[in-house]
Amino acid sequence: MPEAVPSMLWAPHAWLPGGWQADVLLTIGAGGCWQSVQAGVARPPAGAQVLAGPVLPGLVNAHSHAFQRAF
């Protein structure tokens, strides 16, 4: 059985559109997708997992091996 995913994460800093934001609450919906992202939440709500460091969005793997193809 998979481990339960916390429904709320609280980070001291997160990179959001517009730059770094402080005191960010990330809420995960029932399907496991992001439900909401809210900056300026001064204290973590009860039940939220407190993260130790900053949060960054996932990075796209944009490298290419096109140069390895023979013409």
- Going residue by residue through the chain, which has 71 residues, state the pLDDT in tens, using 9 for 90 and above: 455 666 999 999 999 999 999 999 999 998 889 999 999 999 999 999 999 999 999 888 878 877 777 65
Question: Alpha-carbon distance 19 to 29, whole Å?
Answer: 24
Instruction: Judge if pTM exceeds 0.85.
Output: no
Domain annotation for the chain: domains and CATH numbers: 1-52 (2.30.40.10)
Question: Alpha-carbon distance 12 to 21, whole Å?
Answer: 8
